[in-house]
Structure formats: structure tokens, C-alpha cells
Amino acid sequence: MTLRLSAKNLSVNARKEPLLSSVSLDLAPNKLTCLIGPNGAGKTTLLRALTGFRPADEGDVFLNEKPLSSLSIPERARLISYLPQSRSLAWPLRVRDAVALGRFAYGGQTSAMNPRDKDAIDQALIACELTQLSDRRTDTLSGGELSRVHLARALCSQAPILIADEPLAALDPRQQLQTLGLVRNFVETGGTACLVLHDLALAARHADQLIWMKSGQILHHDATETTLTPDIIRAVFDVESEVSDRSVIILGPCL
Amino acid sequence: MRSFSLNTVLLVTGLVSVILACFLGSTDLSIGEIAKVFIGSGSHENTLIILEVRLPRALAGFATGAALGMSGAALQGLLRNPLAEPGILGVSSVSVLFSTLVLYFGIGTTSSLLLPISAIAGALLATAFLTLAAIFTRSVVTLILIGVGITSFSGALMSLVLNFAPNPFTLADLVNWTLGSVANRSLTDLAYALPFILSGMGLLLWSARGLSALTLGEEAAHAVGLNLAQQRLFVIIGAGLATGGSVALAGAIGFVGIVTPHVLRPFVRHDPAQVLLPSALAGGTLVVLADIFIRLLPTYSELKLGVVAALIGAPAFIWIAAQRRGGPNT
């Protein structure tokens, strides 16, 4: 199943301050979209509005043509998987049990999963190279391993849409590439992915689409090739840069 | 499977402890005499001793401990913090305050229907207030702080009540109540409190699955399909009913809800949903055993259960808290 996620005129206010003002976007299947912008641009707020954790005050989110608000919470969870920034687990679960929580919306008990759930969990463990670690306590894992646990949790829900908030934060370059490879795989099998990335160079190299955000607004939303220009980088991040093909070098702050 | 056999072991231990408690008292009864009572062919006097004195006391202890153990485990799962207990949200303290007021104004005695009703009313008032707060705030920390505020405020009101106690006799009565005990409970007392305790525990077990999801944090729990508002509501009402019922039976007994789940977590792979039932069974057993211990101590006046629970529980609480230094979610 492929699914298009779109938003029309989303606005979110906190204490009358606008966090998002009239944001519209369109996330297509088979595309890896990266959401980039400076701190405080409203990226996390936008993701929370897209996943319904903090519904927008105005505007609507649509899955294909269906409004997100018309879905029940478990229905929504089976269509959109979401990785928030926070990765800490309250209790030191075993890796397999933590990944199994991705099947929560299908209704099984963690202790008694049906074969379909088990299959999905096994596949996610294999994809994220966690099979060896499946019986380890999550509080004994490295940061990279823990982030793979969360990704496996998201993948085993088999939702056609994956949204992740800084999934590469605090990962070494190899782990970053491994994670991006998994997301790329997901996208190529019909998935719709949207990642918030802080590393402009990584986003430029790996994204099919870039959404440039600043001050609660989307400034540009288009294919990476068309929007990756020094002018746009200056307008969004306030830095001078050199762009050749898909590589970006940041030269320094704008004077 | 694993937690199934754990529950079996704990259930058997609980039954054994309740039966053990039936042996204890001023009249020595043999195993044969006690067994006769249970199959209905004991002497009138022995039946009276067992069914009116010893068994109600043991069962009251078990029900109290079970309610506190499960409420603690559920609140810890909801708040994702092993230090949470019915006390931290102010549920116990408001419940104790309400039952104290009933005793203070002399409207009820320790063995009337009014006491459990007021204890449960207090617990439900605290939970209703917290439920409102939970609807308006997404933050668990805020919820804990509100609970701390409620605890302090009801503590202050309690001091006020004790301060204005009309005579030494009333004061002693009130202090006794706040210390917590299961001595001299009747089957009638049990019958008043049990429906609340059981329905509260039922609600907690029914909504246990969501506690597993909450391990990931609220945002991710919502993402995997948990209805956060409903989960909070069920746990708060469930813990409120169970805790209110336990206060009606035994007054304030602390720390059972912290210590029991902490010890049991490794046996259920740290799953906050699967720790609920074992915590109830072990909490009940713990209180019955503590009560047996109190009766065996050769003290001049019998020690109060709540005092012993705090003497053991408070250091354990500090130890658990100190262990968490540097861990996640500190």
C-alpha cells in the first residue's frame, strides 16, 4: 500500500504566539523528503501536527484524500509510524520487547503475539541488524544500537508512512549512513518518508525532496536539485555556502 | 508463560501467609482445629475466633497490600517513574484526611459504612482533581508536582485537625488511625471496602497494556496507537478506587506500592503491564507477613502496621532513589 500525506494551511499557536503559520505540504510515496531549517523553525511542531500528537489549530492533514482526524488512534498508528526525538526508555526492556511495541496498534499483548506480529518483528530485527541483540536489555546498548531499536520499532508497524525527528542525531557517520540506507530501502518499496535532519550536507546528498522551514513557515518545498542553492541556504540559515551538484560547503555566517 | 508461573508462586505464598496468620492469637489453635473451621465443622468458639477475628484481619491486610501494590505499579507505569506511589499523587493523604474528619466530628466510628465512604470520597476527590489537571496538561512532571501540592495541603489540614482535637482521647484515636493498622477488622468492614478495591484493580488490569506502550514516552506511545487521555483517566480512577478502599480498611500504609513493583520488575522483563498482578499478590503477602511480624514482637503495646511499613519502606525508597542517579528520566 502506498499513501500520500498532505497538509493544507496548518497553523499552530502556543499562547497566541504562532509556531506554524499556514503551512501546506505534500509528501509522496517513493520519495524521501527532508525537513530542514534552523532551530526554532517549527519542524518538530509540524511533525506533531502531521502525526496528530498536537493537532493543528487550523488547517487539515490528509492521508490520500481522507482527513487524518477521521481516523481512530490505532488506525492512524497503522498508517503513520513516528520516531520522536526522545529515545530514552522508561524501563530496561529487552530489545525484542521494545521493538514489539511497534505492533501495539494491532492489539496483541507483548507477551503473546500472533504469527503475523512475530513475522513483522523478526523482519524489522533482521533489517536493522538487531537479531544478535534481541535478548539484550536496552539500557546496555550504545546510542547507535538504541536508535536502531527505535527504527525497528517504527518499521515493524509496517505503516506506509515514516516520520522521524532527527533520527541521525548523535550517531557516528557509519551509523548515519546505515540508518539512511534503511530509510532509502523503505522508500524504494513504496514508502513515504519525511525526516527532520540537522546536517544540511547529509540532507542535500540523500533527500529526493527538501522542505525549507524558517519562523514557522515553509519557504521552499521542491526537488533537492532545484532548491539546493546558495541563495536559499542564505535565506533560511543565514550562512554563506558553496554548492556543487549535491555537496554543500558552509563558508561562514552572513555578514 | 513466565509471568503466569510467577503469579502462581505468588498466589500460593499469599494463601500460605493468610493461613499462617490464622494460627496467631491469644488462643492456641491446632492445625486440625483450624482445618475443621474451614470445612465448616469446627467448634462454635473456634469458628468465631477464626472467622470474626483472625481471618478478617489477614484478609484486610492482604486486600490493603494488594490494592497498594497494584496502584503503585500502575502509577509508576503511567508516570514512567519507579518512585511514584498512591501517596505521591496525594490520593492516600486526601483519603486519610477525609476519614479522619469523619472520626473527628464523631459522625462515624472505625466500623461503620461512613468511614469507607468518606475515605473513598477523599480518594476520588483527589483523583477527580488530578484527572482535570491531566486533561489540561500533557506533562507528567506537572502532574507529580500537583500531587505533591495536594499531599502537603492535606497534611496541613490534618495537622490542623489534630491541633484542635477536643480531648486527648480523640487525639489518640486520630493518631491511631493515621498510623495505619488492620487490627480488629470485621468481615463487614471488608465487605464495604472490597467492591471498591476490586473494581479499581479490575480497571487497572484492563488498561494495563497501554502502560507497556508508555515505556517509549508519551509522544511515541501516542504514535504506536495509545489513547493517552483515556489511559491517564483509567489509571487515575483505578488507583483512586483501590487506594481509597485500602485507606478505609487500614488507614495510611506507605511504601508497599514502591517496594513491591521494584523487586518484581526483573521477573517480568521490566514490562510495566505484566508487573501489575504480581505486585498485587506480593503486596498483599507483604502486608500480611508484616502484620504477623508485628503480632510476634513482644512489645508492650502493639506496633502499628503503618509505622513498620514506613520503617522498612522509607530506607528502601531512598535506596531506590539513590540508585537512579544518572539513569534516564531522572
Pick the CATH number of B2-323 from 1.20.1250.20, 1.10.357.10, 1.10.3470.10, 1.20.1530.20: 1.10.3470.10
Backbone phi and psi for residue A26, each to the nearest 5 degrees, phi listed first: -145, 115
Where do we find the cell 481522507? A66
Q: Which three cell numbers stand for residue B14?
A: 499469599
Mean pLDDT of B70-83: 89
Helices (H) and strands (E) in chain B, counts: 15, 0
Where do we find the cell 514516552? B217
Q: Is B141 on the interface with A (CB under 8 A)?
A: no
Tally of structural domains, chain A? 1
Number of residue pairs across A and B with CB atoms under 8 Å?
A: 98
Q: Is B173 on the interface with A (CB under 8 A)?
A: no
Helix B55-79 vs helix B228-250: crossing angle, to nearest 10: 150
Helix B31-38 vs helix B2-23: crossing angle, to nearest 10: 110
Q: Is A84 on the interface with B (CB under 8 A)?
A: yes
Burial of residue A29 (CB within 10 Å: 0-12, 13-18, 19+) is: middle
Helices (H), chain B: 2-23, 31-38, 44-48, 55-79, 91-104, 114-136, 140-163, 168-179, 187-206, 208-214, 218-223, 228-250, 256-264, 276-296, 305-323
- Residue A167: pLDDT band (50, 70, 90) is very high
Predicted pLDDT at A94? 95
Q: Is A138 on the interface with B (CB under 8 A)?
A: no
Question: How far is Cα A163 from Cα A165, in angstroms, rounded to an integer?
Answer: 7
Is the per-residue pLDDT at B210 higher than 70? yes
Question: How far is Cα A90 from Cα A168, in angstroms, rounded to an integer?
Answer: 21
**Range in A184-193, B15-24, B207-216 with the lowest mean pLDDT:** B15-24
Contact flag B270-A86 (C-beta cutoff 8 Å): no
Residues 6+ apart with CB under 8 A from A122: A131
Tell how strand A80-83 and strand A161-165 pair up: parallel
Helix B187-206 vs helix B114-136: crossing angle, to nearest 10: 20
Is the per-residue pLDDT at B327 higher than 50? no
Predicted pLDDT at B328? 43
| Å between B62 CA and nearest CA of chain A | 27
Mean pLDDT of A154-177: 93
Backbone phi and psi for residue B145, each to the nearest 5 degrees, phi listed first: -65, -40
Of B209, B224, B271, the CB nearest to A93: B271
| Interface predicted TM-score (ipTM) of this complex, two decimals | 0.93
- Residue B159: pLDDT band (50, 70, 90) is confident
Q: Is A104 on the interface with B (CB under 8 A)?
A: yes
Mean pLDDT of B95-103: 86
Of A80, A93, A111, the CB nearest to B215: A93
**Range in A40-54, A60-74, A109-123, B63-77 with the lowest mean pLDDT:** A109-123
Is the per-residue pLDDT at A224 higher than 50? yes
Summarize pLDDT for B13-48 with one digit per residue, the tens: 999 999 999 888 777 777 888 888 878 788 888 888
Give SS3 for A253.
Answer: strand
Predicted pLDDT at B28? 76
- Residue A180: pLDDT band (50, 70, 90) is very high
Q: Is A39 on the interface with B (CB under 8 A)?
A: no
Contact flag B265-A91 (C-beta cutoff 8 Å): yes
Mean pLDDT of B104-128: 76
Cβ pair B259, B316 in contact under 8 A: yes
Residues 6+ apart with CB under 8 A from A182: A127, A128, A151, A155
One-letter amino acid for residue A175 of the chain: Q
Contact residues, chain A, for B223 at CB < 8 Å: 51, 53, 77, 80-84
Mean pLDDT of A130-154: 93
- Residue B330: pLDDT band (50, 70, 90) is very low
| Å between B82 CA and nearest CA of chain A | 9
Question: How far is Cα B317 from Cα B314, in angstroms, rounded to an integer?
Answer: 5
Question: Chain A residue with minimal CA distance to B78?
Answer: A90
Contact residues, chain A, for B327 at CB < 8 Å: 139
Is the per-residue pLDDT at B277 higher than 80? yes
Cα four-point dihedral sign B174, B175, B179, B184: negative
Sequence ranges of the domains in chain B: 2-323
Question: What CATH number does the domain containing A156 carry?
Answer: 3.40.50.300
> Of B53, B25, B65, which Cα lies nearest the Cα of B306?
B65
Contact flag A53-B222 (C-beta cutoff 8 Å): yes
> Of A114, A98, A94, A95, which Cα lies nearest the Cα of A106?
A114
Contact flag A93-B329 (C-beta cutoff 8 Å): no
Contact flag A98-B81 (C-beta cutoff 8 Å): no
Interface residue of A45, A91, A137, A146 to substitute, partner B, most B CBs within 10 Å: A91
Is the per-residue pLDDT at B329 higher than 60? no
Tell how strand A217-223 and strand A209-214 pair up: antiparallel
Question: How far is Cα B221 from Cα A81, in angstroms, rounded to an integer?
Answer: 11
Of A51, A83, A90, the CB nearest to B80: A90
- Domain residue limits at A84: 5-253
Of A74, A91, A139, the CB nearest to B272: A91
Contact residues, chain A, for B272 at CB < 8 Å: 90-91
